Amino acid sequence: MSPPLLEARRVGYRIGDAVLVDGVDLEVRSGEILGIVGPNGAGKSTLVRMLAGETAPSEGQVLLDGEPIGGYRPHDLAVRRALLPQSTVLQFAFRVLDVVMMGRYPHREATPADDAISVETAMERGDIGHLRERLYPTLSGGEQARVSFARVLAQETPILLLDEPSASLDVRHQELVMAVLRTLTGSGAAVAAVLHDLNLAARHADRVAVMSGGRIVEVGLTAEVLRSDLLSEVYRHPVAVVPHPHLDCPLVLPLRS
Amino acid sequence: MSDPAASPGARRRAVRPPMVIAGLMAILAGGILASLALGAVSIPPSSVIGILLEHAGVPNGIDFTTQQDAVMWGIRLPRILLGGLVGAGLGVAGASYQAIFRNPLADPQLIGVSSGAALGSALTILLLGGAMGALAGPLGGLAGGLAAGALVYTLARHGGRTEVVTLILAGIAIAAVGTAGAGFISLVADEPRLKSELFWVLGSLTFSTWRLVWFTFPFVVAASIILPIYGGAMNVSLLGDSEARSLGIDVERFRIAVLALATMAVGAAVAAAGVIGFVGLLVPHAIRRVAGPDNRLVVPGSAIGGAALVILVDLAARTVASPTEIPVGLLTAVLGGPVFLWLVGKTRREHGGWG
């Protein structure tokens, strides 16, 4: 097992009396995709923002390579981890190419040639090469999501934290995004992604953390965690889990209540 | 750049940055020369050059009268330079506010910073003018502008976004208080510049002197040189606080630095020439139309373009109805009001307006 790159220790987050995240222990490891699933309001986004050092936890701490993440300077964080938020609104008419290029902002020493290669690779991986001259505000939601994904890839960090990278994507692009993440973990990247689609997690995650009410109810290998009893209880809705007829993974089937 | 909402496939062919800067410089140079030559006393272009060379210590045989020399060197040149500084300050500040408030409608006057600066400047000249001398205006403007900027910033930012309605409403309230305060001061003050209520509402370059030029110069030039350095960070910050932080920007520090620098320029500009509206809205917007939204170009371009605009508008202000002088802010409002309305309509079509 590779050492954890990012580690949450007894992490909690509260606003007034509301506890959004409560006593979470979690490791994000090099070479694997960690899927974070759970019902609405479970605290998934808040957890991801704390893992990214974007929000400071009210309890516990997040360690990046063994050091408290709050001690890193913004630029040092930016070359180590990238965060993809749920959606990005841009009121100014930047081209797609310009937006992806913004992902290169932390790499001040990079030559224009380095930047060009990263941006081209990122655009190809996000399948947005044909949109390069289009203006970002004119794109559809799914296209904007792919541009943001490409921007995060252009940042070229060893850790990727993604809040619903696939939410507004069609089937082909959902699979494409997960395949890109798999390629990156193959070369040592660590990926944690909030996933709404349980079957996307079932097909692509190495490990899954199930969150509910601010806590991690269970975390472990995907096939061991995605069980009918656990999911039915957490989602408060009957869910069946059967072996996938064509792939070597579970298939999650919500039933009628 | 066409209207993105009307044609979803809109592409932009941006004009290259050096061309944009060169074009703006050419307009600025043309504006300066025209303003030197034109007015109640007409000075032929050859004499303009002769007078400039004479003051630069270059002996030349070009003909000019002592009256022409007095008018150009003593009256027109300081007025042009001050107009240029005021325009540069308002332009560069407008572009910067639009970036940090993440909104193309942010303008020094609309968000209340100009009025805050006017009140601060008028109050300080009135109360501390004796003790502080000519620095009272710029420093008071800076303090008043910063107070207004901090107030607007605190009120309108919520959850990492700027609420446009709150921004504009706060601007209206601050402008009302600032204008009323400056108006009251105009009743009790002795100094001609302070006494002119119109000065604080519509601005004027009538009171330009070399002293005012020198006291405005460092604030505006510092802002115009430093703010463009933040252009790349401004671009990234437009993606959102979360995105900007993820890309390594210390968002709060960045925003406060830009807010302070831009407000410093506005404070100095308002202290020198009163409240001239819409420059910070018109100029960055025109540059974006031609060259796209990259702030590494829009911010420095707005300094040059703002200088050119105010110089040209002031030329019109003192010549079209001569001998009556039109307040310069009246003309910028005539130009800026319709553009503002058009921007509001465009934003409404593209983003569904503001509830």
Q: What is the pLDDT of residues B214-224, one digit of tens each?
A: 989 999 999 99
Instruction: Give the domain-ending residue among A124, A156, A188.
Output: A156
Residues written for chain A? 257
How far is Cα B99 from Cα A92, in angstroms, rounded to an integer? 9
| Domain match, A71 and A167 both | yes
CA dihedral sign, ordered A179, A184, A189, A194? negative
Encode burial over B50-62: b for 16+ CB neighbours within 10 A, e otherwise: bbbebeeeeeeee
Residue A200 domain flag = yes
Q: Could you report the per-residue pLDDT of B18-46, keeping only the tens digit for each? A: 899 999 999 999 999 999 999 888 888 88
Domain final residue pick, A129, A156, A183: A156
A95 shares contact with chain B (CB less than 8 Å) = yes
Taking contacts as CB-CB distances below 8 angstroms, the residues of chain B near A83 are: 242-243, 245-246
Quick check: is A49 in a domain? yes
pLDDT in tens, A160-208: 999 999 888 999 999 999 999 999 999 999 999 999 999 999 999 999 9
Residue A175, helix vs strand vs coil: helix
- Given a cut of 80, whether residue A4 has pLDDT beyond it is no
Binned at pLDDT 50, 70 and 90, residue B208 comes out as: confident
Instruction: Tell me whether residue A73 is in a domain.
Output: yes
- Answer yes or no: do A59 and A99 share one domain: no
Looking at chain A from residue 132 to 151, which residues have their Cβ under 8 Å from any Cβ of chain B?
Answer: 133-135, 137-138, 151
**Segments forming the whole domain that contains residue A146:** 88-156
Instruction: Note whether residue A61 is domain-resident.
Output: yes
My answer on whether A201 and A149 are in the same domain is no
Show the tokens assigned to B129: 């003018």
Classify residue A233: in a domain, yes or no: no
Is beta strand A159-163 parallel, antiparallel or unpaired with respect to A81-84? parallel
pLDDT digits (tens, 9 = 90+) for B108-138: 988 899 999 989 988 888 888 777 676 777 7
Cβ within 8 Å, pair A138-B8: yes
Residues A104 and A138 in one domain: yes
Q: How far apart are the first and last CA of chain B?
A: 27
Whether chain A has a CB inside 8 Å of the CB on B229: the answer is no
Distance of residue B240 Cα from the nearest chain A Cα, in angstroms: 7
Q: Do B104 and A99 touch (CB under 8 A)?
A: no
Give the residue on A whose Cα is nearest the Cα of B1.
A93
Q: Which residues of A touch B103 (CB under 8 A)?
A: 91
State whether the Cα torsion B12-B13-B17-B21 is positive or negative: negative
Residues A118 and A74 in one domain: no
Residue B11, pLDDT above cutoff 60: no
Same-domain status, A96 and A210: no
Q: Does B4 touch chain A (CB under 8 A)?
A: yes
Taking CA atoms, B270 is separated from A164, B170, B279, in Å, by 48, 19, 12
**Per-residue confidence band for B2, with pLDDT thresholds at 50, 70 and 90:** very low
Residues A117 and A4 in one domain: no
Residue B202 to chain A, least CA–CA distance (Å): 30
Size of interface A-B (CB pairs under 8 A): 93
Q: Are residues A70 and A164 in the same domain?
A: yes
Residues 328-347 of chain B with CB under 8 A from chain A are: 347
Q: What is the largest CA-CA distance in chain B?
A: 67
Q: Please say whether the beta carbons of A142 and A168 come within 8 A.
A: yes
- What does the pLDDT average to over B309-320? 93
- Chain B CB within 8 Å of residue A130 CB: no
- Alpha-carbon gap: B14 to the closest alpha carbon of chain A (Å): 10
In a domain, A244, yes or no: no
A-contacting residues in B 240-259 (Cβ below 8 Å): 240, 242-243, 245-250
With CA atoms as reference, the chain B residue closest to A90 would be: B239
- Closest partner residue to A138 among B4, B102, B233, by Cβ? B4
Specify whether A52 is located in the same domain as A101: no
Average per-residue pLDDT for chain B: 85
- Does the distance separating the beta carbons of A88 and B9 come in below 8 Å? no
The answer on A131 and A192 residing in a single domain is no
Do A74 and A3 lie in one domain? The reply is: yes
Look at B248 and A138 and tell me if their CB atoms are within 8 Å.
no
Report how many domains make up chain A.
Answer: 2
Q: Are A131 and B330 in contact (CB under 8 A)?
A: no
Taking CB atoms and an 8 Å limit, are B246 and A82 in contact across chains?
Answer: yes
Question: Are the beta carbons of A33 and A185 closer than 8 angstroms?
Answer: yes
Does the beta-carbon distance from A106 to B248 stay under 8 Å? yes
For the domain that residue A181 is a member of, what is the CATH number?
A: 3.40.50.300
ipTM of the complex: 0.88
Nearest residue in B to A89, CA atom: B239
- Span A12-32, pLDDT tens digits: 999 988 999 999 999 999 999
Name every residue whose Cβ is closer than 8 Å to that of residue A100 and which is 6 or more positions away in sequence.
Answer: A119, A122, A123, A126, A128, A147, A150, A151, A154
Contact A90 B292 (CB under 8 A): no
Q: Kindly provide the b/e burial profile for residues A66-87, where b requires at least 16 CB atoms within 10 angstroms of the residue's own CB.
A: eeebeebebeebbbbbbbbbbe
Query: pTM, whole model, 2 decimals?
Result: 0.88
**Inside any domain, residue A237:** no
User: Smallest Cα–Cα separation from B243: which of A148, A131, A179, A20?
Assistant: A148
* CA closest to A133 among chain B residues: B11
Q: Are residues A94 and A197 in the same domain?
A: no
- Across residues B337-350, what is the average pLDDT? 78
A5 within some domain: yes
Q: Which residue has the tokens 């058009």?
A: B342
Closest residue on chain B to A72 (Cα): B248
Residue that is last in its domain, among A97, A122, A156: A156
